[in-house]
Amino acid sequence: GENVEQHPSTLSVQEGDSAVIKCTYSDSASNYFPWYKQELGKRPQLIIDIRSNVGEKKDQRIAVTLNKTAKHFSLHITETQPEDSAVYFCAASRGVFGAGTILRVKS
Amino acid sequence: DSGVTQTPKHLITATGQRVTLRCSPRSGDLSVYWYQQSLDQGLQFLIQYYNGEERAKGNILERFSAQQFPDLHSELNLSSLELGDSALYFCASGRTGVQETQYFGPGTRLLVL
């Protein structure tokens, strides 16, 4: 079955810096790669997603890149703000999530 | 608000007991996913249903079972509960059941004493 690895497990950045979280997957049949943000005590919510027919997608300060050949995809957050502090999960295929990255943005 | 509802919000019970968690998907969604999230843990996929049929199975214990009813709501049954079953249980729903955005409910926090 699908296996998704996510790195790093924790990430601390200064407000205004960029943050990058990377995921690799194993199933070459996967073609949909969402990213979810989970704030403390709340439900995970989709923040951006990408399908395998594109290599990059951007939404304001958030972007996702996909390399299907290498089977990895990354989340990029620019100009980080304290409210970006949360746990971020990548996912691939059906119901398989990465282990999560705790992002702390220090002001 | 995602449109996915879960009841109850909190549940406290004793070891050895059985509980049922309920999930109602968003209007129009046919797929329901169940996840377990323990403290400091990621989202562990348990099981997925699509239009009443089991579609995929993850790390679900034999003591746990689920079903999806004709009105598309789903129930997760946890039996012979152990202390380690204490966790946040999320359900999520999706439209097609295949490689899709999942909309999460608020979760049920289970505490086994």
B34 contacts B66 by C-beta, under 8 angstroms = yes
What pLDDT was estimated at residue B110? 97
Q: What is the mean pLDDT of residues A53-82?
A: 95
Residue of A80, A59, A66, A63 lying closest to A25 (CA atoms): A66
What pLDDT was estimated at residue A2? 80
Higher pLDDT, A47 or A92: A47
Rounded Cα gap, residues A21 and A44, in angstroms: 17
Residue of B26, B36, B104, B74 lying closest to A42 (CA atoms): B104
Contacts of B107 in chain A (CB under 8 A): 43
What pLDDT was estimated at residue B2? 83
Where would I find the H helices in chain B? none
3-state secondary structure of A29: coil
What pLDDT was estimated at residue B99? 83
What pLDDT was estimated at residue B106? 97
3-state secondary structure of B77: strand
What pLDDT was estimated at residue A69? 92
Average of per-residue pLDDT values in chain A:
94
Higher pLDDT, A66 or B39: A66
E strands present in chain A: 4-7, 10-14, 19-25, 32-38, 45-51, 56-59, 62-67, 72-77, 86-92, 96-97, 101-106
- Is residue A72's pLDDT more than 80? yes
CA distance A39 to chain B (A): 12
Residues whose CB is less than 8 angstroms from the CB of residue A41 and which lie 6 or more positions away in sequence, other chains included: none
Rounded Cα gap, residues A4 and B8, in angstroms: 31
CA distance B99 to chain A (A): 5
Positions of chain B with pLDDT under 50: none
- pLDDT over 90, % of chain A: 81
Contacts of B58 in chain A (CB under 8 A): 95-96
Hey, what amino acid is at A43? R
What pLDDT was estimated at residue B21? 98
Task: Check the CA dihedral B85-B89-B93-B98 and report its sign.
Answer: negative
Across the interface, which of B48, B97, B101 has its CB nearest the CB of A46? Answer: B101
User: Exposed, middle or buried: residue B97 (CB in 10 Å: 0-12, 13-18, 19+)?
Assistant: buried
B49 contacts B67 by C-beta, under 8 angstroms = yes
Query: How many residues belong to chain A?
Result: 107
Q: What is the mean pLDDT of residues A22-47?
A: 93
Rounded Cα gap, residues A74 and A89, in angstroms: 11
CB contact under 8 A, B99 and A94: yes
